[in-house]
Amino acid sequence: MPDEGTLTSPRSDSDVRQKARRRSGLVSSTSSSRRQSRRYSVESSSGHAAKLLPNGLHGRRHQEPAWAVWNDCIVLVGGLNLSRAEGAKVMQDPADPWAQEVCQGSHQSTVFNMSDQSVRNGPDVPIRNNHGMGAMSSDGHMHVLVLESYLLAAENEKAWLRHFVWDFAGGGSAWEVRAQLHGPRGAGRCEFVRELMYCFGGSTKATSGTIADLHIYNPATDKWTAGAPLPAPMDHLGSAVFANKIWITSGRFYMDSPLPDKPPKAVSSSSSYVYDPSANLWTSIEPLPYRRSSAALTVIKRTGKRPTLMAVGGQENFGIYSGTIFSMIEEYDFEENDWYCHDTHLPQGVFGAAIGEWHGKVYIVGGADGFYISAVDRVIVLDIEALSGGMPCLYKDRAQKDWWLQYNTGAMARFPYRKHFLRDD
């Protein structure tokens, strides 16, 4: 890193653009032979790698499940469990009774232990589901809110968002029913802050109806109350809790098609917000550098360094059933309100996965690696201590016509950052 007060050497627009695209995962900086090896591990320039865990979830697939973390365990509930080949069969005839049935999702619960990398089954959730919302209470109760037939249903007005709880920490063997959340929704998020559960965003239909509602659940009374809605409707979003606040980014919304008889267009978002439960207030923060939805978020705490919010993977829609899957790794500095990008990428693109951190390792579990239905049983392990220092992201939302010139100039003027998140306070 240059000494403070020095600037990086000038580069042409094409050089900067190519380097940023490599960081975003849009192009590869490797030769064709090395590109083949990237299917199994991706190494940074310093030789450290993000790797696939052998055997993964041992055949248990969870695409866009309800999930949460308790100590060293990641709990995944339901979600789509069809492989890429099975998903392609669904697309050939979505109205087929078999397709309608399998797209309801899964009953299965899976527990992945990050400390010993073991996998075990949990109790089956009472209804098949996908795009559910999960959260873990401070006493180890796993809550899930799930909706039947979310993915292929044209209308969900008759469906109710079912609420179940499993005493995970206490060794419970079954799910119990709790107060339902009025009205259908899927692809939202829930988080516990202290003793209350906050559920927000989502959509009432698989291809439209994005909502901004916030609902607050009190386990002590088994009742729901309303909170301040999101600043903008959003589904397929990521979230994490830090400093008793909820931080969200990486979502999407829908725009009506200009063509008759065409479905709405799914549009990924870079908008990011933080919610303060004590004030019941949402506040905008620095947008995600590259817009996408369904990224996995977790808080990272390095020894002697400031905590950060890590965002990995995600998807960007070109239509309802097509788009790009990402392998990028970015970190948000809570104190500086800024994002940093890593040269290291995940070994494979993924979206709709669960994520957790344990003893210096990040585990990205399940998800999908192709559009629409393409569930995987993979586990990706990322050594956060081995990551090289994050650099200021040199790419921004493509909607800005002159973003390259504006942002690159600003980044160079501010570089190096005085309080980089990988440096001591």
DSSP letter assigned to residue 183:
S
Q: Crossing angle of helices 403-414/13-24, nearest 10°?
A: 90
Whether the Cβ atoms of residue 274 and residue 246 lie closer than 8 Å to each other: yes
CA 399 to chain centre: 22
Q: Please give the C-alpha separations between residue 368 and each of 41, 63, 303, 362, in angstroms, as whole numbers.
A: 18, 5, 32, 18
Residue 24, helix vs strand vs coil:
helix
CATH superfamily of 42-414: Kelch-type beta propeller (2.120.10.80)
99 or 213, greater pLDDT:
213
Tell me: the pLDDT tens digits for 283-314?
A: 999 999 888 999 999 999 988 889 999 999 99
Closest CA to 312 of 332, 282, 287: 332
Cα 207 off chain centre by = 19
Local structure of residue 368 (DSSP, 8 states): B
> Interior CA angle at 219 toward 213 and 222, to 5°?
80
pLDDT confidence tier of residue 373, bands split at 50, 70 and 90: confident
**Chain segment 18-75, per-residue pLDDT in tens:** 444 443 333 333 333 333 333 333 333 334 578 999 999 999 999 999 999 999 999 9
- Cα separation, 12 vs 19, whole angstroms: 11
Q: What percent of the chain has pLDDT over 70?
A: 75
Give the number of C-alpha atoms closer than 13 A to the C-alpha of residue 280, restricted to the C-beta side.
Answer: 10
pLDDT at res. 255: 74
**Cα-based distances in Å from 58 to 22, 115, 317, 356:** 32, 17, 29, 18
Q: To which residue do tokens 């899957």 refer?
A: 325
Strands of the sheet containing 354-358, edge to edge, are 41-43, 49-52, 379-383, 361-365, 354-358
**Tokens matching residue 411:** 């980044």
Give the integer Cα–Cα distance in Å for 265 and 230: 21
Model confidence at 418: pLDDT above 70: no
Q: Who contacts 409 (Cβ-Cβ below 8 Å, separation ≥6)?
A: none
My answer on whether omega of the bond before 392 falls inside 30° of 0, hence cis, is no
What Å distances lie between residue 119 and 128, 270, 292, 365, 377, CA to CA?
Answer: 21, 34, 30, 11, 11
State how beta strands 315-317 and 323-325 pair. antiparallel
Q: What are the pLDDT digits (tens) for 216-263?
A: 999 999 999 999 999 999 999 999 999 999 999 999 987 776 667 776
Q: Do 368 and 361 touch, CB atoms closer than 8 A?
A: no
pLDDT tens digits along 152-210: 444 445 457 899 999 999 999 999 999 998 877 889 999 999 999 999 999 887 666 78
Residues 6+ apart with CB under 8 A from 259: none
Rounded Cα distance between 101 and 109, Å, is 19
The whole-angstrom separation of Cα 49 and Cα 272 is 28
- In this prediction the pTM is 0.82
